[in-house]
Amino acid sequence: MNRMYTDDPKNRTEEFFSIASSMKQNYSTNKTKNDNTIKNSKTKKNEFFQITSQIGKQIHLTCLKLSDLSKLAKSTSLYNDPTHQIQILTHEIKEEIQTLNRQLESVEILASHNTGKQNRQTTQHTNQIVGSLKGQLANTTQSFQGVLRERTENLKKQQERRSKFMDNSSFFFSANNNTSSRKISYAMDESKTNSTNLGFDIDIIENTNNNFNSQNSLQTVSYRESRVNVVEDIEKTIHEIGTIFSRLANLIQNQDTQIEWIDQNVDETLENIEQGERELRKYSESIGSNRWLIFKIFAILIVFILIFVLIM
């Protein structure tokens, strides 16, 4: 029964034969065993096989979706990037893998319950089924990881190609994308150790995709930002000019008082000099008019000296 889920699902003749043979066996063993126990074990076995067949079918569907995703991820055109579809697909595949994990775990528990009442061969059989389903799920998760890795490498290449054309405004983008792609690889290494459990976050991939989409809008933003910056600079310069003018006015006002001082001083000087000139004139007039007196005084002095000399 294990081979059925890997082969083409349309060809189910072998499954039919096996079911027919198993039913024949059941029918033949029915005669030798007790009915209740047979019914119990049969229902349990049927349940078990139904669940496992469902799980197998879902694994196959997931495989198909994964092949679609890998085709999309391989597309490497610079302009038409099917990121939206890729995101949807990865999200779906991730959810399906998680549900399949849970179902497999419940099947395992069911099988362990059943082993008490089954004989050795059926336990071996169920264990084999569970093991093979686990293996198939592990294979799908591995291929999923491989597809995601391809996708990140493609994104990196696209980014490099874009950076050859574009401005340095996308410079910090490449740094950002390096960190996010590193995160993806780290998470995938984590999940490698645990083959049945996926531990990584697809939101990281969504973030890189969003980064690429917003690159175009960043250019329009930077054009507007540059205009805004220029206008802000002009505003600053006008403000500076205003402060310079006010400083100028202050200086000139201070110099005004100094000029008044100078004016006062010069006026005083003028006055003093005029008065001094008047005094001097008076003095010179007085000296000039005084000469006769001086002559008279000198004459009297000379007379006294003559008298003094005549007496001696």
Partner 1 sequence: MKIISLCLFQWRGNNITEPKLLATGFESSTFGFFKKKTVKEWCEFVSFTLAKRTNESQRQSVKEKDYICHVYNRFDNLSAIVICDDEYPRRVAFSLINKVMDDFMDIYGNKFGDLEDYPFEQIVQLLNKFQDPNQADKLSKIQRTLDETTIILQDTIEKVLKRGENLEILVDRSELLSNQSKQFYRVAKKHNRCCTIC
- The residues of the shown chain that bind partner 1, judged by CB under 8 A, are 79, 164-167, 216, 219-220, 223, 226-227, 230-231, 233-234, 237-238, 240-241, 244-245, 247-248, 251-252, 254-255, 258-259, 261-262, 265-266, 268-273, 275-276, 279-280, 282-283, 286, 290
User: Minimum distance from CB of 162 to partner 1 (Å)?
Assistant: 10
Nearest to 130 by CA among 108, 109, 152, 146: 108
CA atoms within 13 A on the CB side of 27: 6
Closest to partner 1 by CB, 34 vs 257, is 257
Closest to partner 1 by CB, 119 vs 213, is 213
Closest to partner 1 by CB, 270 vs 307, is 270
Closest to partner 1 by CB, 92 vs 263, is 263
User: Taking the chain, what is the end-to-end CA distance rounded to the nearest angstrom?
Assistant: 180
Residue 76 makes CB contacts below 8 A (sequence gap 6+) with 154, 157, 158
The number of residues making up the chain comes to 312
User: Minimum distance from CB of 186 to partner 1 (Å)?
Assistant: 33
Residue 134: how many other CB atoms lie within 10 Å? 19
Our CA angle for 206, 209, 215, nearest 5°, is 140
Nearest to 210 by CA among 163, 162, 177: 177
User: Minimum distance from CB of 66 to partner 1 (Å)?
Assistant: 32
Nearest to 141 by CA among 203, 90, 75: 90
Tokens 């000399």 correspond to what residue? 309
Closest to partner 1 by CB, 199 vs 276, is 276
User: Minimum distance from CB of 51 to partner 1 (Å)?
Assistant: 50
Closest to partner 1 by CB, 197 vs 264, is 264
**CA 136 to centroid of chain Cα atoms:** 38
Which amino acid makes up residue 238? I
Confirm if 56 and 5 have CB atoms less than 8 A apart. yes
Closest to partner 1 by CB, 67 vs 216, is 216
User: Minimum distance from CB of 243 to partner 1 (Å)?
Assistant: 10
User: Minimum distance from CB of 304 to partner 1 (Å)?
Assistant: 17
User: Minimum distance from CB of 262 to partner 1 (Å)?
Assistant: 5
User: Minimum distance from CB of 232 to partner 1 (Å)?
Assistant: 11
Confirm if 58 and 136 have CB atoms less than 8 A apart. no
User: Minimum distance from CB of 71 to partner 1 (Å)?
Assistant: 24
Closest to partner 1 by CB, 131 vs 276, is 276
CA dist 78 and 161 (Å) reads 8
Residue 149 makes CB contacts below 8 A (sequence gap 6+) with 184, 185, 188
Residue 224: how many other CB atoms lie within 10 Å? 10
Nearest to 137 by CA among 191, 71, 181: 191
Confirm if 227 and 235 have CB atoms less than 8 A apart. no
Closest to partner 1 by CB, 3 vs 247, is 247
